[in-house]
Amino acid sequence: MHKQIVLAKRPKGKLLASDFELETVPLPTLSDGEVLVRNSYLSMDAGFRYWMNEGSGNNILPAMTLGEPVQGVVLGQVEASRNPRFQPGQKLMARLAWQEYSVLTPDNDAVYPVPGGWPCADKLFLGVLGETGMSAYIGTEDIGKLQPGQTALISAAAGAVGIVAGQISKIRGAKVIGIAGNDKKAQKLISEFGFDAVINYKTCGDLTTAIAEVCPDGIDFYFDNIGGDMLKSAIDNLAQGARIALCGAISGYDQTQAQPGPSNLFNLITKQATMTGLMTHFDAQRYNQIRSQLFNWLDSNQLKNAETLYQGIESAPAAFSAIFHGSNFGKSIVEI
């Protein structure tokens, strides 16, 4: 028998831990080509929230099924294999599910070996050296193209991706402004992670005005993890030729109906600004190279890992919902 977390209800409004249920089920048996993976860590990624909605299937993933284990990226070890490509003991990361044991099927196209020989904990490959770091890097480097002295605005700055994006922006010589939801996080971002300023969007009053005060010359790069009204406030403050990386839309995931987009897209025209969607999924061939760069920054202490570690698969619902209630800091990982 093993434990798993299933999607019990499709979240309505703000996602709650009670949208999930813990189940104990028999260990699966393997068919030809399949691999049994003992999961060690679950990566808590806000983006997966999207596929919990009814009818959300798209070119990336199908919608999750009610009563089935929650899909997500895990790091584990091969326990048994009926596939010659995988040997017992081998460590891998894959898009599997919130379970103690998962079956990797031969059609899974999101499987990566855990890189061997790196002087760091495996779980970093789920965070700053994994998809999280890739999103931050590709968004900031490829889309942000920051020049020294430019201004970067980072939403969800205390979140897994935002805290890395902000630090990369700083490495590139930008003035880095974060947006976060409480003063404690804000202070930590400034004192420990090199942010120049952080706006608390819950207490700042009108966000457009608050951004304008901290960024009087406008924003050259906006890293968007949120969408909605926050994106609108950023667009109100664009500098000429600004770049926006759309990395997520947390404000939209929680809505049962599609929310209108920002009403000020015309500003993109007058500012010759660019808004680009970011989906690391399609850039897997670059991961090794990017991972080396991120590791070098970590090693030289220019980049700090920020992580919240939860214990036991039972904690996954609370860990995941914390992201949507703003009580997370850095990368959230569940250790099984």
- Residues in contact with its own copies by CB under 8 A are 50, 58-60, 227, 231, 240, 246-249, 252, 258-279, 282
Complex with its own copies: residue 75 or 138, whichever CB lies closer: 138
Give min distance, CB of 136 to its own copies, in A: 15
Complex with its own copies: residue 263 or 302, whichever CB lies closer: 263
- One-letter amino acid of 249: A
Give min distance, CB of 116 to its own copies, in A: 30
Give min distance, CB of 259 to its own copies, in A: 6
Give min distance, CB of 57 to its own copies, in A: 11
Complex with its own copies: residue 129 or 278, whichever CB lies closer: 278
Give min distance, CB of 323 to its own copies, in A: 17
User: Which single residue is written with the structure tokens 């009108």?
Assistant: 206
Quote the CA–CA distance of 274 and 109 in Å, as a whole number.
31
Complex with its own copies: residue 251 or 315, whichever CB lies closer: 251
Quote the CA–CA distance of 203 and 328 in Å, as a whole number.
18
Give min distance, CB of 224 to its own copies, in A: 9
Q: Could you tell me which of 161, 151, 155, 163 has the C-alpha nearest to residue 180?
A: 155
What contacts 24+ positions apart, CB below 8 Å, involve 104-107? 104/34, 104/35, 104/36, 104/37, 105/33, 105/34, 106/33, 106/34
Q: Could you tell me which of 152, 280, 125 has the C-alpha nearest to residue 224?
A: 152
Q: Please check whether residue 120 is in contact with residue 295, taking contact to mean a CB–CB distance below 8 angstroms.
A: yes
Q: Which two tokens stand for residue 9?
A: 């209800």
Complex with its own copies: residue 29 or 263, whichever CB lies closer: 263
- One-letter amino acid of 98: W
Q: Could you tell me which of 294, 286, 226 has the C-alpha nearest to residue 261?
A: 226
- One-letter amino acid of 239: A
207-214 vs 228-235: helix crossing angle, rounded to 10: 40
Complex with its own copies: residue 148 or 260, whichever CB lies closer: 260
Give min distance, CB of 273 to its own copies, in A: 5
Quote the CA–CA distance of 76 and 22 in Å, as a whole number.
20
Complex with its own copies: residue 166 or 218, whichever CB lies closer: 218
